[in-house]
Structure 1
Amino acid sequence: MGRPGRLGRRRDELVGRWTQEYGPGNWRLAWQAGPVCHGLDGALALYEDAYFAALSQDQKLLDTLVGCARDVYDEEERDTASGLDYAVQASPATHLQDISVRRVLVRLGRWFEGDALLRVRAPGQGEEDAPHGRTRAALDSGRLPFHRPDLIVRPLLTGWWQPFSVECFYQSNKLLQKRTA
């Protein structure tokens, strides 16, 4: 049915609209990966693998993150309650990058040792030199390079994210599918 792109804070409104238009259970969001479309679990596996690639290949970034943070969040500090569970989404907008970071730390056999509650989102203008600003920017889904750029659907969808980033994959490959017969 198309490529809806970023849902953001309109997520609940759009879900309601699609449910009304197509009927409960008659539509889904899917993500294309090569010739196959997957549900959210498939998209999250690739999303998380991008964080795994980045943190396992950049020891300095990994050590800095572990050394400074006691946990991470994306939208709101209460995002930490999600722990390792992508399904726990208390904020109005979906947050995945914080959960991905936590899950990757588990996969790497590491955990937080610092004192800072770190927002893993690019700092605002003038904040890059603030404490942990570069670490925050490096872990922002809109900046972190996607490890499989060959899988990103073209043309790329544009938004607040950089081309070929994790967020670019997540938004560009998202499809709205309608059940037929």
Structure 2
Amino acid sequence: MMNWINKAARFVPEARTCVLFFCFLTIISDFICKYTPNAHFSHLFLGTSPLLEILVIAGVLLNSPKATKFAFYVCRIDVIIGFICLFTLPVISVAENATGIHLNLPLVATFHTGFKIEVQSEIEMFYVIVMLGFISTALIGLFLIFDVIKYRCLQHMCHQDEQLRLKQQQAVKV
């Protein structure tokens, strides 16, 4: 998987474009997954993902080595949070869907079903809850893949900036 991402990062015409594309794709996908028609629009901004994506976009658009490094570190934090979410949020989501009680955790948005599921037995309830856990895990995995691709592209950009800085230092010495 990482080998493919490394090759893709080298052949993308502009890594900056790739990072911006995946940032906007992540924000739009996040809004679509969290949309609930009967809730106020501000619930779309719950979670750390939109904020971190905006910081990465700002760092990339500033187009300087320090801003790129800032975007790289923010993306690194996003990937770490993504792995933590991969191991915790599906469990929280399953528990919330099983009990019907939403925990309303600050800065956390979990996957809830917007439709009612009628079940006849406990085993059917178990299957529905497991299915919702898999859906939650798949969505978090998708966002994590987007974050890893952005991370690798930003890592490539930081490496290029460092090489350019070293070449400029050598040119000044000569």
TM range (shorter): 0.3 to 0.5
TM-score (norm 1): 0.33
Q: TM-score, normalised by structure 2?
A: 0.34
User: Which one has the largest radius of gyration?
Assistant: 2
Pick the structure with more strand per residue. Answer: 1
